[in-house]
Structures are given as C-alpha cells and as structure tokens.
Amino acid sequence: MRPLYVYNSLSRQRELFEPLEEGHIGLYVCGPTVYSDVHLGNCRTFTSFDIIYRYLLHLGYKVRYVRNITDVGHLEGDVDVGGEDKISKKARLDKLEPMEVVQKYANGFHEMMSVFNNKPPSIEPRATGHIIEQIDMIQKILDNGYAYIKNGSVYFDTPKFIADGNPYGKLSGRVVEDLLQESRDNLKGQDEKNNPSDFALWIQADERHLMRWPSPWSVGFPGWHLECSAMSTKYLGPHFDIHGGGTDLKFPHHENECAQNLGACKESPAKYWLHTNMLLLNGKKMSKSDGNSVTPGQLFTGESDHLTKGYDPMVVRFFMLQAHYRSTLDLTDDALLAAEKGYRRLMEGYHTLDSLSGSNTGNASALDQEIVSLIESTYEDMSDDFNTPKALARLFELVTKINGLKGGQLKLADVQAETIDKLKETYSAFLFDIFGLKDESSEGDSNVVDGLMQLIIDLRKEARSNKDWNTADKIRDTLSELSLQLKDGKDGTTWSKI
C-alpha cells in the first residue's frame, strides 16, 4: 500500500499513518445533534470525512466507519445555569415527542448527506440506544477514582486525573492551570462541582425532563462527551485508529473524551485525531443568529440575498474540494461561480478523455513521461494529508494535456496506450470514487432524453386516437431506425434501446 501521511492534532505534526492492524482502519467521526436542520457547516465537515473515508477505501483498507447521531445529552448554551437538553427543549417547544424531533432531523440529515453524495457510515449508533454502555463506562471511571457523585449527578474529577499524571489539555493545547480556573462545560449548578473544570458524566433530572433513564445514581441522562467515548469503545475498541470532528469540538468535547477513555480504560481512544476547519460566509463565521448564513436548500435554489443564482450540489461539493480540510473555507457567490466553471471543465475533461485512445508504439516520449508523473503526483498529493486542492490542480494540468491531445496540439502518437488507460483509470477514480462527484451533465442529458421520449410517445398516442395511422407508423419506424423500440403494455407505452 502506498504511504499515507496525516496531520495528527494530538502531536501537532504530520505523521506517517500506520494502522493498528494491518489493512484495517477504525474511524470514528462525531455526528450531528439532531434538533434542527443540518447546516452547511455540518455538511462541509461530513463531506471532508467522506472524502477521507473514500480515499482510505480506494487505497485498499477495510474501514469500519462509525458516525454517531447525538439524540440526548447535548445541552443548550452555558450550562452552569442549568442548561436544557437541545432535543428535549425542541420537543417541548414544538409539542412533539423527543423521538419525533430526532427522527425528523435525522431523516433530513440523511437526505442531505445523499444529496451531497456522501457514503453512509458502516455503523450509525445513537446515544439513546447506548445508555447501558454509558452507565457501565461511568461506573468504571468511578471505580478508578476519577469521578465523584453529587446529588445523584456524577462528575469527572479533573484535578485528581491531572494529579495522577494524566494528560488533560494535551489534545486541545489548553494549559491545565487555565482549565482549572474556567469551565464551559456541562454543569448543572456551579456549586455542585468540586472544581470548575470538572464535567458531568451523568446528570440527575426531574420529571420535567422528557428524556431520562434509571441509573445507580439517579434518574437522569448521560453527558454529551460520554456518548462518543462509550460508542467508539463499543464498536472500535478502547484504542482505535482515527477520531475526527470539526475543530470546534477539540475542546471540551474531544479533550473530555480522551479523559473519559483514559479514566475508564487507561487507554487514549485514538492514535490519530483529525480536525476539519470551519465554513465561513463572505469572510465571517457562518452563523444563523446574525443572519450570516445560507441553508443547503437556499444554496440549491439561489433564494438568498447572499447569492445571485442556485448551484448544483455537485458544484458545491467541488467547491469544498478546492480547500484543504484543515483550512477555513469561505463561501461567496463569486467562488461558487468559479467552482461551477471548474466543475464543468473537469467533467468535460472526463468525456474528452473517454474518446481518446493511445498508440501502441512503446516509445516513452517526454509527453508520456509527463502524464505518468502527473498521475503519480495526484496520488502523492492526496496521500499527503488528503490534499484535495493540490490533487485537483494536478487533474486540471491533466485536462490541459487531454484537450491538447484532442485538439491536435499534442500528438496522440507520443502517448502509449497503457498510459492512456492508466490516465482514464486514475481520472475516473479521482472524480467519482475518491472525490465522490457525480456527472450531473450526463444525468441532465438523460432527463432531457426521457422528457423527449415521453413527448414522442404522447404524440403517437394522440395520432392513434385520431386514427392518423401514417403519423403513428412514421414515429415507430423512425425510432426503430434509431434502434429505439416502443412497447405497448396495459400500463401505457415504454421505450428501450434495441
């Protein structure tokens, strides 16, 4: 397998990727909290991980990709003031069952993932389906002395954890002393915690809470950080290959996941931590509250003050590929217009390449070598921490060669048949398997063909009902000359290629 380098947030270094078990990869990505429509920022993060997943599969790894659904435990706002569970709150406001809220937005999330052509994960566990595992994990942390119980709630004991030499703050780069001073985490009542940096593992809840479960400590619900520790451990083991999520999750969510896993299993959960950067709109963080946001739906229809027109989801996906996953990505109308042109040029390159065939001279010319080395560089860029913008740039260099070969500026006789075959294989692998783009132009063409065929079928039907046999026969004969066959059945007329 070709060497792969990844930037590990834990070491803050680019590292050679070495799976824990030869040929196999365990990948965990924090999924969405399903209490509102999925926003474009979420789509960027999950699309980045989809491309990473696709590339690992393409390299030949067997990947178990676990991406959870958070349906309990994620509290609203600063929690020191008794923050409410986001899903519970939505259910209360909309007079719905919490599971109705979860189902509605999980469905919407799945639809959006499929619109962007993201592959489903291998396992998509939900937090509410793993309460037993979460209770077990809390018990282990308590048994190991890293948690304490207060009024039926359980808190992680950060000073004790740190005093025993454990690395709290290592992933997020936070200074332990600062952490001990401040807290932005799940805290029901400030006075209940021994220390501001402690965080809730289990939260006691009264009957006003719509989602609560019995536990050895109280009727309540688990803390948000705990679900990912419990579910990643269950499906990937206490130590697995890659943990991912948006960079905004590094602290406290991922830092606390590390602490919980170490506290319960004495092992750090993941060998490599990968974090994707944020999506901006016109240079500012995309945010619903100050009006600086565009929904995926608005992006497709163009119904937004920020846009001059609607864009195809594949253009948006192409736009995302143009930035490295660790860089911020600024969504602007101009950038989308440019992406639309780029996407078309890339797809046209594919069709032009399809019509080319190389000679069999066996002479490796300079041009031949240039193409071979561009193919290799495309892989090298992608294997260098999944550098999609660089790999895309190589493909565009190849498009220039492809167009030159088609237009006659470059000689097809200078390229060996096997190089053309390799180029076709690589180009199509990158476009469709790795970048996950779809050829909307051909889909658009097939819609037009379907529409035209339906029109012809309707005209023939009309002619027959008017006993205009000449027209009806002419339609059938002309289609037959084009190798298209009409079949009259009890449900109407269908067509097929002969």
Contacts to Zn ion by CB under 5 A: 30, 228
Place of tokens 């993201």: 118
| Cα–Cα distance, 104 to 34 (Å, whole number) | 8
Shortest reach from residue 231's CB to Zn ion, in Å: 9
Residue 417 interacts, among Zn ion, ligand AMP, none and using kind-specific CB cut-offs from 5 to 8 Å, with none
Shortest reach from residue 21's CB to ligand AMP, in Å: 26
Shortest reach from residue 253's CB to Zn ion, in Å: 5
Q: Does 37 bind ligand AMP (CB under 6 A)?
A: no
Q: Which member of 8, 9, 45, 183 binds ligand AMP (CB under 6 A)?
A: 45
Residue of minimal Cβ distance to ligand AMP: 246
| Cα–Cα distance, 180 to 120 (Å, whole number) | 39
Angle at 44 between CA 39 and CA 46, to 5 degrees: 95
| Cα–Cα distance, 76 to 211 (Å, whole number) | 15
Shortest reach from residue 368's CB to Zn ion, in Å: 49
Is the peptide bond prior to 159 cis by the omega test (within 30 degrees of 0)?
no
Amino acid (1-letter code) at residue 82: G
Closer residue to Zn ion, CB minimum distance, 225 or 317: 225
| Cα–Cα distance, 215 to 226 (Å, whole number) | 15
Q: Does 186 bind ligand AMP (CB under 6 A)?
A: no
Residue 42 interacts, among ligand AMP, Zn ion, none and using kind-specific CB cut-offs from 5 to 8 Å, with ligand AMP
Q: Does 286 bind ligand AMP (CB under 6 A)?
A: yes
CA 143 to each of CA 105, 146, 162, 198: distance values in angstroms, whole numbers, following the listed order: 37, 8, 17, 17
Q: Does 113 bind ligand AMP (CB under 6 A)?
A: no
Q: Does 30 bind ligand AMP (CB under 6 A)?
A: yes
The candidate with the shortest Cα–Cα distance to 57, out of 440, 393, 435, 437, is 435
Shortest reach from residue 229's CB to Zn ion, in Å: 8
CB atoms within 10 A of CB 259: 28
Counting Cα atoms < 13 Å in the Cβ hemisphere of 229 gives 30
Q: Does 20 bind ligand AMP (CB under 6 A)?
A: no
Closer residue to Zn ion, CB minimum distance, 210 or 228: 228
Counting Cα atoms < 13 Å in the Cβ hemisphere of 406 gives 15
Closer residue to ligand AMP, CB minimum distance, 275 or 401: 275
CB atoms within 10 A of CB 286: 20
Q: Does 32 bind ligand AMP (CB under 6 A)?
A: yes
Shortest reach from residue 39's CB to ligand AMP, in Å: 7
Q: Which helix (H) or strand (E) holds 224?
A: helix 224-236
Residue count, binding to ligand AMP (CB under 6 A): 14
Shortest reach from residue 440's CB to Zn ion, in Å: 33
Residue 228 interacts, among ligand AMP, Zn ion, none and using kind-specific CB cut-offs from 5 to 8 Å, with Zn ion
| Cα–Cα distance, 98 to 229 (Å, whole number) | 23
Closer residue to ligand AMP, CB minimum distance, 49 or 350: 49
Amino acid (1-letter code) at residue 324: H
Phi/psi at 231 (5° precision)? -75, -35
CB atoms within 10 A of CB 81: 10
Closer residue to ligand AMP, CB minimum distance, 284 or 411: 284
Shortest reach from residue 265's CB to ligand AMP, in Å: 23
| Cα–Cα distance, 304 to 461 (Å, whole number) | 43
Closer residue to ligand AMP, CB minimum distance, 123 or 278: 278
Kindly compute the dihedral angle of the four CA atoms of residues 353, 357, 363, 368, in this order, to the nearest 10 degrees: 0
Closer residue to Zn ion, CB minimum distance, 64 or 306: 64
One DSSP character per residue, 68-120 reads: -BB-S--B-S-GGGTPPBHHHHHHHHHT--HHHHHHHHHHHHHHHHHHTTPPP
Contact criterion met (CB below 8 Å) for 460 and 472: yes
Shortest reach from residue 465's CB to ligand AMP, in Å: 56
| Cα–Cα distance, 434 to 454 (Å, whole number) | 36
Q: Does 246 bind ligand AMP (CB under 6 A)?
A: yes
Q: Does 172 bind ligand AMP (CB under 6 A)?
A: no
Shortest reach from residue 30's CB to Zn ion, in Å: 3
| Cα–Cα distance, 331 to 379 (Å, whole number) | 27
Q: Which member of 52, 75, 113, 249 binds ligand AMP (CB under 6 A)?
A: 249
Q: Does 265 bind ligand AMP (CB under 6 A)?
A: no
Residue 41 interacts, among ligand AMP, Zn ion, none and using kind-specific CB cut-offs from 5 to 8 Å, with ligand AMP
Q: Which stretch binds ligand AMP (CB under 6 A): 226-234, 245-253, 336-344, 487-495?
A: 245-253
| Cα–Cα distance, 49 to 28 (Å, whole number) | 10
Contact criterion met (CB below 8 Å) for 483 and 477: no
Shortest reach from residue 134's CB to ligand AMP, in Å: 17
Closer residue to ligand AMP, CB minimum distance, 45 or 134: 45
Closer residue to Zn ion, CB minimum distance, 30 or 138: 30
Closer residue to Zn ion, CB minimum distance, 30 or 382: 30
Closer residue to Zn ion, CB minimum distance, 30 or 63: 30
Can you give the binding site for ligand AMP, defined by CB under 6 A?
A: 30, 32-33, 41-42, 44-45, 245-246, 248-249, 278-279, 286
